[in-house]
Amino acid sequence: MKYKIDLTTGNIALKLTKVSLPIMFTSFIQMAYQLTDMFWVGRLGSGAVAAIGSAGFFGWLGMSIAFMAKIGTEVCIAQAAGRNDQESVKNYMINGLGLAVLLTSIYASLIFIFAPSLINFFNLGTDVNSYNPTSNAISYLRIISFGMVLTFTHPTFSAIYNGLGKTKLPFYIMSTGLLCNMVLDPLLIFGIGPFPKMGVQGAAIATVIAQILVTTQFVLSIKKNFDFIKGVKCFFNISKEYYLKIMKIGFPPSIQSALFAIIAILIARIISQWGPIPIAVQRIGSQIEALAWMTAGGFSTALSAFVGQNYGAGLNKRVWEGYLTAFSIMSGIGIFVSLLLYIFPEFLFSIFVKEADTIHQGIVYLKILAYSQLFMCIEIMTQGAFNGLGKSMPPSIVGITFNILRIPTAIILSGIIGLNGIWWSISGSSIFKGVILVIWFVLFYQKKVAKYKNN
């Protein structure tokens, strides 16, 4: 197996598309796990959706922590591959996986122990259409915690292949996990055939079983496809030098994502003043909105690998051309998603729930969020360009600043126009983040990158 795909030559749009499509499909598969759970659990009512929605925030937070290993490993491998430094590629693989397991093991243990306190923070109540969201959320979260170490190492496994431009294999592996989850969900949730009816707990168990399958395949694929690490025991060859390099690049975006998740949790607590239905609305709505940010995330990762390889090879003019190409593509996608959310909100929401009040609130949510989709897409894509240069701090500064501002803005606007004020605080901050980060990247490139090794 050729250990990398060369992104330093050839048609830029074609290379970016070729690399990004499998990443996007892989991201959609990760999203589809949650959509599958949401689709089937939604048949149990809004209380059940609120249960897995509130528990899902802590999965999001854990994935944010795993981003430290994921992004750092991805960028370091891409730059090493651009230099044709195979020894560094090997060491970044080993240390990236070791860091991912260490961080997620600690997090999963804490989640299991403190699950009741974490769920009670949302004040979900005890009865929504004869369904107890609080107790079911606690059960769901504790079951999911058993699979977190596996789930949160998958991004790092994918990052190894993404950094080398070989993005198809993670897609194939994640597809098998999704298929497993799709088959098991209805069987375990509703007790079809010989299986007992387990409700929300069944959705959690199905997810954990699927993650075991995915992890097994990733481990076998690494052993098979990379001859130069055969015989290496990943967790017994830790190097401080490589650990620190991975953490230096991965720490800012990880903190940004973690704070984003924490802020979302705090906003959900504000939303809970209006009852569990708005929490269900936000959870379902965010999954629908993921059409945009998962697509942007795929291009972001592809652009990160593209920029990393070309920057590592000293081809800085090609870095800029790659950014402009990605910007054009993502602008078109962002506009398309905006129109989709604004024109078809009722259809999109009715896929997951049938209760009229939930659908009505969901329509308002999607229409408000539609205004920000273009800006969110270009923000995420630009973050990938910064990451590829090894400069992950600027997008983190912009993201952290405006995400924090969501809290006071949500409080102020909700006091004036009610629940819709919270939705506007989310949409408005995304618009500002997109505009500011693009300006920052253009200025940074012209000042720090364009005049050096401009080939």
> Residue 1, SS3?
coil
| Residue 349 pLDDT grade (very low, low, confident, very high; cuts 50, 70, 90) | confident
The closest alpha carbon to 20, from 173, 175, 167, belongs to 167
The confidence score (pLDDT) of residue 230 equals 56
Taking the C-alpha atoms of residue 141 and residue 60, their distance in angstroms, rounded to an integer, is 12
| Residue 120 pLDDT grade (very low, low, confident, very high; cuts 50, 70, 90) | confident
Taking the C-alpha atoms of residue 204 and residue 211, their distance in angstroms, rounded to an integer, is 11
Find tokens 């939604």 and name the residue: 42
| Residue 119 pLDDT grade (very low, low, confident, very high; cuts 50, 70, 90) | confident
Q: Is 274 exposed, middle or buried (0-12, 13-18, 19+ CB in 10 A)?
A: middle
| Residue 427 pLDDT grade (very low, low, confident, very high; cuts 50, 70, 90) | very high
Decide if 300 contacts 380 (C-beta within 8 A): yes
Q: Which of 6-10, 224-228, 379-383 has the lowest mean pLDDT?
A: 224-228
What is the phi/psi pair of residue 128, to 5°?
-130, 110
Q: Which of 287-296, 322-331, 396-405 has the lowest mean pLDDT?
A: 287-296
The closest alpha carbon to 268, from 414, 128, 387, 401, belongs to 414
Decide if 279 contacts 56 (C-beta within 8 A): no
Give every CB contact of residue 337 below 8 A, 6+ residues apart in sequence. 291, 292, 295, 370, 373, 377
Find tokens 């497993």 and name the residue: 180
Taking the C-alpha atoms of residue 24 and residue 178, their distance in angstroms, rounded to an integer, is 15
Average confidence score pLDDT of the chain: 82
What is the phi/psi pair of residue 412, to 5°?
-65, -50
Which segment, 57-61, 139-143, 192-196, 418-422, is predicted with the most confidence on average?
418-422
The confidence score (pLDDT) of residue 442 equals 92
Numbers of helices and strands, H then E, in the chain: 15, 0
Is the alpha carbon torsion for 341, 342, 344, 348 positive or negative?
Answer: positive
Q: Which of 281-285, 363-367, 422-426 has the lowest mean pLDDT?
A: 281-285
Taking the C-alpha atoms of residue 340 and residue 334, their distance in angstroms, rounded to an integer, is 10
Tens digits of residue pLDDT in 391-415: 878 988 998 899 889 999 999 998 8
The closest alpha carbon to 269, from 440, 103, 370, 119, belongs to 119
Decide if 60 contacts 261 (C-beta within 8 A): yes
The percentage of residues in the chain with a pLDDT greater than 90, rounded to a whole number, is 17
Which segment, 157-166, 339-348, 354-363, is predicted with the most confidence on average?
339-348
Tens digits of residue pLDDT in 245-261: 888 888 887 887 788 77
| Residue 434 pLDDT grade (very low, low, confident, very high; cuts 50, 70, 90) | very high
The confidence score (pLDDT) of residue 451 equals 63
Predicted structure pTM score: 0.67
Longest dimension (CA), the chain: 68
The confidence score (pLDDT) of residue 229 equals 56
Residue range 156-180: average pLDDT? 82
Find tokens 């431009």 and name the residue: 165
Residue range 58-73: average pLDDT? 82
The percentage of residues in the chain with a pLDDT greater than 70, rounded to a whole number, is 88
Residue range 150-154: average pLDDT? 84
Q: Is the pLDDT of residue 378 over 90?
A: yes
The 10 Å CB-count burial string (b at 16+, else e) for 204-217 is bbbbbebbbbbbeb
Which segment, 20-24, 120-124, 296-300, 344-348, is predicted with the most confidence on average?
344-348
The confidence score (pLDDT) of residue 171 equals 82
Decide if 80 contacts 312 (C-beta within 8 A): yes
Query: Which tops the pLDDT comparison, 20 or 218?
Result: 218
The closest alpha carbon to 16, from 435, 290, 291, 330, belongs to 330
DSSP 454: B
Tens digits of residue pLDDT in 35-55: 677 677 766 766 676 667 677
Determine the Cα angle at 282 with ends 281 and 285, to 5°.
80
Tens digits of residue pLDDT in 70-105: 888 888 887 787 778 878 888 888 888 888 888 888
Q: Is the pLDDT of residue 129 over 50?
A: no
DSSP 228: G
